[in-house]
Amino acid sequence: MVETTADPVAQDEEETMTTIFSKIIAGEIQADIVYQDDQVTAFRDIEPQAPIHILIVTNKEIPTVNDIRIDDEQLVGHMFTVAQQIALREGIAEDGYRLLVNCNKNAGQEIFHMHMHFFAGRPLGPMLVRK
């Protein structure tokens, strides 16, 4: 029998990694926050893909859309009402904006913490290029 001194509780804590978004929400990493409440935090993307590119992030760590539960329905709906408020504040509600949520790697999700991209500030063209 091989003895191990590794503490299984400590190993579980190490495997539970906090995302960069959680660090922004907690104020550990600086960001240009445009909206924050007890459910979501919205901040400008550091590599914008449009003149206005804001990420609306759930304060609760939910890795992907596949991980949303019934209890999260109100939270997910709140993301859309926050997007509406941001559009009004940014003065682009009437011009239009795009909301995008990626789920997993093939869709382009890079950070596994539920978030919505808010794009605006120019005509955005088609969503996908047909191939």
Contacts of 93 (CB under 8 A, 6+ apart): 84, 87
Amino acid occupying residue 72: D
Which among 113, 86, 100, 99 has a CA at the least distance from the CA of 23?
113
Which residue out of 53, 78, 113, 115 is catalytically annotated?
Answer: 115
Contact indicator for 94, 75 with CB cutoff of 8 Å: no
Q: Is 115 a catalytic residue?
A: yes
* Count of Cβ atoms closer than 10 Å to residue 111 Cβ: 14
Contact indicator for 50, 124 with CB cutoff of 8 Å: yes
Which residues are known to be catalytic? Answer: 115
